[in-house]
Structure 1
Amino acid sequence: MLLNSSYRIFNLARALLICSALLAGNAWAQVKPNIVILATGGTIAGAGASAANSATYQAAKVPVDKLIAGVPELKDVASVRGEQVFQIASESFTNAHLLSLGKRVSALSKQADVDGIVITHGTDTLEETAFFLNLTVHTDKPIVVVGSMRPGTAMSADGMLNLYNAVNVAANPSAKGKGVLVTMNDEIHSGRDVSKMINIKTNAFNSQWGPLGMIVEGKSYWFRAPVKRHTLQSEFDIDTIDALADVDVVYGYGNVPATGYEAFSKDKAIINAGTGNGSVADRIVPVLQALRAKGVHIIRSARVPDGFVLRNSEQPDDKYDWVVAHDHKPQKARILAAVALTKTSDSKELQRVFMEY
């Protein structure tokens, strides 16, 4: 009798252990991060006529569900669901697209059942969208923008791995609070710093201050963190912005006429993509002075790939009441000015913003 009782107790304890293990296993499965993939089109959703077409293809053809299904390993990383926000090539992005996408990202970031957001995007303006979100979405949850240089139909297509890496970064608590990130070619970049520097090649994206880290077999390795204001520390909030200020870019070169600057005389600001240190040709200086007198902000940036524009170097910015873009490339300067001018029209405040963000 005693032996039978001991045996029953042993079996009961064994059953309890098995149940506990099963419950623990289910709990582990349930704590997988919830990641939403917002698809906007681009090359990562492109298709070519044959596997040999890596540069000739049609962008924005593959819907988000097929993108997700094409990377079955995602289910091992997170609970993933997709939304098709747009289906366009990114060179066709407008301010309206930025605002619509930003508001959707902001709404998702407030949901308790969303731990991170991945945005698939065409590479042509990917850096602009990433920077815009970095400036305006108030969250510390990971937001990762990703694209590809080759369509999924091409030999050695890079989109599958880029998407896998993006979801891994978005699902990783170590990405929390680092602002909007861009994952391309196994590297993790800040949305503030990154730019498309090469076409055709898969190592197209670079940051002049270097990547934040790398991803190897789904694991994130971090080497630095952003120091400029972003996301939760930003004074700009997508939920309060209904329209961006009109800002355009004029490219500087030898023999440049005043035509481009005068064409944008009704804008809130003009970005001068100047030569060298944001230089302005002597014959253009009086044109920009006249525009500033009419209320148009003049922001000196540089067309060169790296470096930054020094205030009161090349031009007396204090005297002319001009602004310098610091290390922001012309396209990034346009985004920052378009956002900042929704809150202020003071040139000193505008200059502060360019130094802090």
Structure 2
Amino acid sequence: MTTRLTVLATGGTIAGIAGSAIAQDYRAGEIGIEDYLERVGGLGLGAELSGTQIANIDSADIGPAVWHPLHAAALAALDDEGCHGVIVTHGTDTLEETAFLLDLTLPATKPVVVVGAMRPADAVGYDGLRNFANAVRVASDPQAAGRGVLVVMGDRVFAARDVHKVRTRGTEAFRGFPRESVGLVTPASLEWFGAPWRSDSAAAYALPDSLPEVVILYAYAGFDGASVRRQVGPETRGIVVAGVGEGNMAEDARSVLVELAAQGIPVVRASRLDEGLVDREPEDEANGFVAARALNPQKARILLQMLLAGGTSDPAAIQRAFDGR
């Protein structure tokens, strides 16, 4: 049986052009999906690919305006009996956020793979073709279903919950935490490091029409209550603190956040560290705070937005949701 995959393109470096094989600067999102699929057509990937252009932009510009049509197109592809899997091409800067949002809001019935590149298409050592070929390999494997949304970069397969970008240059720019990678892949081989973990194939959340405003406050030496007040506005519905160490912050900032939590604005403690596991501390219950566990600040923000949009604002209920991730 021929494997049929739907490719949803959003732009990014994987579709970027520098105009020179050795230039440092480049323009993201220059190659359209039809053009791109023609370029990969001679690789002998062993799958029938059809593409839809959702956007063609730098991933720094991606947000709800792109997430909604991307989500709708992915749902439609997953509902299509003739489609066996979905590949999303994406810029690397916000790839982990889009992957996590899709992981929360898509069923795990078929493979969904997000892929990008660290070098533009006309650069020496362009990694996009290999990453894309690897993504086809993963999306073509029935064993990729039941694992949620996956990210393929640098011959590694990551779970959307775990993956994060750790370098600005080089092709080994992504890591996973708390799980490193969940598989290794080449265009000719695929090895999984365990069985599928999504026992419930349904989506965890419905993507709301609009996402409530949740701000991320970055803690630093000298971070105080005045800094908190300057960044929290009348439309703010939730706060994530990218705390120092294990989600910590100065006492002056903490006291203001306790006030805001008492006013009904959920406060989530995350860590600014690459590998920041944030457990609950004894004061969290009294303060009304939530511990982000293994989610980094940008992913904690998305999960909190989903919960608030669904009417969940009680800190204990929010904590249960974070514990379940």
CA distance in 2, matches of 1:180, 1:73: 27
Letter in 2 for 1:293: A
In structure 1, the residue corresponding to 2:281 is in which secondary structure?
Answer: coil
SS of the aligned residue for 2:316 comes to helix
**How far has the Cα of 1:99 moved from its partner?**
2.3
Against the structure 1 CA distance between its residues 180 and 73, is the aligned structure 2 distance closer, same or farther, given a 3 Å change threshold? farther
| CA-CA distance at 1:113 after TM superposition | 1.2
**Aligned residue in 1 for 2:182:** 212
Aligned residue for 2:251, secondary structure, equals coil
Q: Tell me the distance in 2 between the aligned counterparts of 1:251 and 1:117.
A: 35
Question: Structure 1's 141 and 294: CA in aligned 2 closer, same or farther, altered over 3 A?
Answer: same
Distance 1:261 1:96, change over 3 A: farther
Equivalent residue, structure 2, for 1:317:
284
CA distance in 2 between partners of 1:342 and 1:231 (Å): 22
1:244 matches 2:211 = yes
Shift of 1:124: 0.1
2:21 corresponds in structure 1 to 51
1:136 aligns with 2:136: no
SS at 1:284 equivalent: helix
CA–CA distance in structure 2, aligned partners of residues 273 and 88 of structure 1: 27
The structure that is helix-richer by fraction is: 1
* Percent pairwise identity: 36
Unpaired runs of 5+ residues, structure 2, are none
Secondary structure of the corresponding residue to residue 351 of structure 1: helix
Match of 1:173 in 2: 142
Residue in structure 2 matching 1:114, options 78, 83, 94:
83
Query: How far does residue 116 in structure 1 lie from its aligned partner after superposition?
Result: 0.5
Q: Does 1:348 align with 2:316?
A: yes
1:185 is aligned, of 116, 134, 154, to 154
TM-score (norm 2): 0.94
- Residues 307-347 of structure 1, C-alpha deviations (whole Å, 9 max, x = no match): 3111016xx10101110100111111111111121221121
Letter in 1 for 2:289: W
1:301-316 → structure 2 map (5 Å cutoff) = 301-312=270-281, 316=283
Contact 1:185-1:203 within 8 A present in 2 as well: yes
More displaced, 135-144 or 153-162? 135-144
- Residue 91 of structure 1, CA deviation: 0.7
Aligned 1:291-310 pairs, distance under 5 A: 291-310=260-279
Equivalent residue, structure 1, for 2:94: 125
CA distance, structure 2, for counterparts of residue 299 and residue 34 of structure 1: 41
| Contact residue 131 and residue 192 of structure 1 kept, 8 A | yes
In structure 2, C-alpha distance between the alignment counterparts of 1:72 and 1:234, rounded to whole Å: 33
Distance 1:260 1:92, change over 3 A: farther
Q: Which runs of 5+ in 1 are unaligned?
A: 1-30
Q: CA deviation at 1:225?
A: 4.8
After superposition, the C-alpha distances for 1:149-194 in whole angstroms (9 at most, x for unaligned) are: 0001000000011111111111111211111000000111101100
| Letter matched to residue 238 of structure 2 | A
Q: Tell me the distance in 1 between the aligned counterparts of 2:186 and 2:45.
A: 16
Deviates more, 1:337-346 or 1:38-47: 337-346
Q: CA deviation at 1:74?
A: 5.3
1:70 to 39, 43, 58: 39
Which structure's CA Rg is the greater one?
1
Q: Is the 8 A contact 2:225 2:255 kept in 1?
A: no
CA RMSD in angstroms, aligned pairs only: 1.7
Match of 1:200 in 2: 169
Q: Under a length normalisation based on structure 1, what TM-score does the superposition of the two structures give?
A: 0.86
Q: Alignment partner of 2:309: what SS? A: coil
The 5-angstrom pairing of residues 226-245 of structure 1 reads 227=197, 232-238=201-207, 241-245=208-212
Could you report, residue by residue, the CA deviation over 1:89-114 in whole angstroms, capped at 9, with x for unpaired residues? Answer: 00111223222211221121111111
1:154 counterpart residue number: 123
